[in-house]
Structure 1
């Protein structure tokens, strides 16, 4: 019995001489669905393509109108909030408000870039804001026809913003938002 105890003790002492190095914290693997799209089937003054793996619901919050929707992907805890207003000679007010809402993230953002979008065939014009860093909303945009319609969108995650873990998810949703913008039509 003493021999076994002595051999086990020697093996433990020899085996534990190296310094322990903890592994860095890892992130869970994220499985993304296959890309496919469907038309937004709601009675709204606008239409566009949305991901077929998303759920659309009306926004029931104070100040929201029946023309506001949220496009959710529960598996990735992602929401695209869409708000819509009819213009009444107040286009500049809406543009400035959208710009302010995007630049409110500059406190946490590393950079904010703007990209102009123009689709004269469908009479859709707008700006896309790409917000880099640990901001709550990495992509925002607005679309308008300059006379009657004004649509604003923002991508949010129901998670604490951590760019290291969210970057793959943001890059997955970026083409979905671009598709939404490119297929927007006014009714």
Structure 2
């Protein structure tokens, strides 16, 4: 009887010392994105009052939606599931209204934004002036800009991703496309300059 208790005690000790794995939650990870090489091409749509450069991995799509106005278009980034919506307005002593509207549309994202940073740009030789808005956080539109010659033309652009906003997973793509937006702005030209 004594041997049974010893065997039982040893058996319990051995089986109770089994190594058990502790479940740990896995860290959230995001897929690695392999970005294409930067190379740009001139875009000039016939009869449009402006032109600029876009990357070779993007394409232009004329905006044919019901709300579209003349000279509106979209720059599509299919691999990144992103679109820059570009709208055009002809200025007739209402430049201030268009600038105010651009600011209003940016600050509608203030609810979800952590910060909104601005960057002015001026290319006097091309009569290209404007403002770039970097919207930080989980806002729907993470970059917006406007370009004007201050007399006749006004362009507004807004970057949207066709995925739910998540600043952590989109950060590399936003920075990548930000460089393309800077190139678009720096190469922007009015076709019908006075």
Where structure 2 has 5 or more consecutive residues not aligned to the other structure, the ranges are: 1-14
Residue 135 of structure 1: aligned partner: 139
**Count of aligned residue pairs for this structure pair:** 178
Determine whether 1:106 maps to 2:110. Answer: yes
Q: TM-score, normalised by structure 2?
A: 0.87
Deviations 1:125-144 (A, max 9, x none): 11111101111111100000
Q: Does 2:42 correspond to 1:48?
A: no
Query: C-alpha separation between the residues in 1 aligned to 2:84 and 2:171?
Result: 16
* 2:164 maps to 1:154: no
* Aligned Cα root-mean-square deviation (Å): 1.8
Q: 1:22 to 1:120 in 2, by over 3 A?
A: same
Aligned position for 2:170:
166
| Cross-structure match for 2:4 | none
> Unaligned regions of 5+ residues in structure 1, if any?
1-11
Q: Does 1:63 align with 2:67?
A: yes
Contact 1:48–1:181 under 8 Å retained in 2: yes
Instruction: For residue 157 of structure 2, give the secondary structure of its aligned residue in structure 1.
Output: strand
Deviations 1:117-156 (A, max 9, x none): 1110100111111101111111100000011000110111
Q: Match for residue 145 of structure 1?
A: 149
Instruction: Check 1:15–1:23 CA distance in 2 against 1; reply closer, same or farther (3 A cut).
Output: farther
**After TM superposition, where is structure 1 displaced by more than 3 Å over at least 4 residues in a row?**
12-16
Residue 33 of structure 2 is aligned to residue 35 of structure 1: no
CA distance in 1 between counterparts of 2:69 and 2:57 reads 25
TM-score by length of 1: 0.90
